[in-house]
Structure 1
Amino acid sequence: MDMTQEARQLAAQQSARASAASSQGKAEYLTFRLGAEEYGIDILRVQEIRSYEEPTRIANAPSFIKGVVNLRGVIVPVVDLRIKLNCEKVEYNGFTVVIVLNVHGRVVGAVVDSVSDVIELGGEQIRPAPEMNTTVDTTFITGIASVAERMLILMDIEALMSSADMGLIDASRG
């Protein structure tokens, strides 16, 4: 089974469980790695997971917008979250994947180091993100979850992808 088939199967299973979990005050998150950190995003925003392929570069695009890919006839912008979030090292290898997201009705790809798993979190497992007096924009961080030995940074991927500096989503649509 290739990665795309596996991702579709995973997404179908997760969507069935997500509807049951939401009635119990729980949510499911797709977890992925950017450098040493592990992040989580709402599984309901994930359309599929694809292996990384070099996108077609767009002239004058910011460095974190790698370009566009043709996904079954849809031209999809691809954002490298490692560059966007200032990861120390950006390395493309066999684990590098693109998480295809549906954000405000628009399809966007997000490059990450690797996808870990899907976990279910209840409200009691999530702590608020710490307040930081820095120039770093942390508005897209919705909380921190502690799962066994792991610290998971929960991210509002819609807020990140629709921020003005991304230029991907028309502000009047959001």
Structure 2
Amino acid sequence: MQAANGNTVPTDTTDYVTVFVGETMFGLTIDRVHDVFVPAGITPVPLAPREIVGLLNLRGRVVTALCLRRRLGIPGREAGAAEMAIGLEQAGETFALIVDGVGEVLKLGADTQEPVPINLDPRWRDLSLGVHRLDGRLLVILDVDALLAFGDAREAKVA
């Protein structure tokens, strides 16, 4: 496609919601994001996997709260630090992905996209779809399906 100024406009772009865990920036495809909110009233669930911080009520729906820090093996945040949540759906279930912060929506083309680097931490490699190199920063694109894979599918992958 050509813009009015004669320059070629890339048509193969994807929109990503950026989230932060510490200084690291991650991207989630916008079509998987349903809500952005401040999590409140999280009820712990006994014997749940370590990544599950509990359940919360989001507009009358029971939502499983998943800590992205724990899922990625990143040390915990300081007590009292602010946190945000991203509402995601998977197989008819609603999840709240707990992150340190939410950034902006970026429209990125294939020109900045690269495959998952071989030197990326193994805990992250299986949860990533690739990376985008942006002005001195790296945006790690998260695989929502892999992030939310728990139970039998996850155990089968480990075995």
- Coarse TM-score class (shorter-chain normalised): 0.7 to 0.9
Q: TM-score, normalised by structure 2?
A: 0.80
**Compared with structure 1, are the counterparts of its residues 36 and 82 closer, same or farther at alpha carbon in structure 2 (3 Å cutoff)?**
same
Counterpart position of 2:149: 162
Q: CA RMSD in A?
A: 2.5
1:147 aligns with 2:156: no
Contact map agreement 1:35 1:89 (CA 8 A) in 2: no
Superposed counterparts of 1:19-168, under 5 Å: 24-91=11-78, 93=80, 95-132=82-119, 136=123, 138-164=125-151
Instruction: Give me the identity figure in percent.
Output: 27
The separation in 2 between residues aligned to 1:77 and 1:58, in whole angstroms, is: 9
The separation in 1 between residues aligned to 2:34 and 2:81, in whole angstroms, is: 21
Q: Pick which of 128-137 and 111-120 moved more.
A: 128-137
Stretches of structure 1 that go unaligned for 5 or more consecutive residues are 1-22
Contact map agreement 1:78 1:110 (CA 8 A) in 2: yes
The separation in 2 between residues aligned to 1:165 and 1:91, in whole angstroms, is: 33
Larger Rg: 2
Stretches of structure 2 that go unaligned for 5 or more consecutive residues are 1-9
**Compared with structure 1, are the counterparts of its residues 53 and 45 closer, same or farther at alpha carbon in structure 2 (3 Å cutoff)?**
same
Q: TM-score, normalised by structure 1?
A: 0.74
Give the 3-state SS of the residue equivalent to 1:136 in structure 2. helix
Paired positions, count: 146
Report deviation, 1:69. Answer: 0.7
Contact map agreement 2:16 2:29 (CA 8 A) in 1: yes
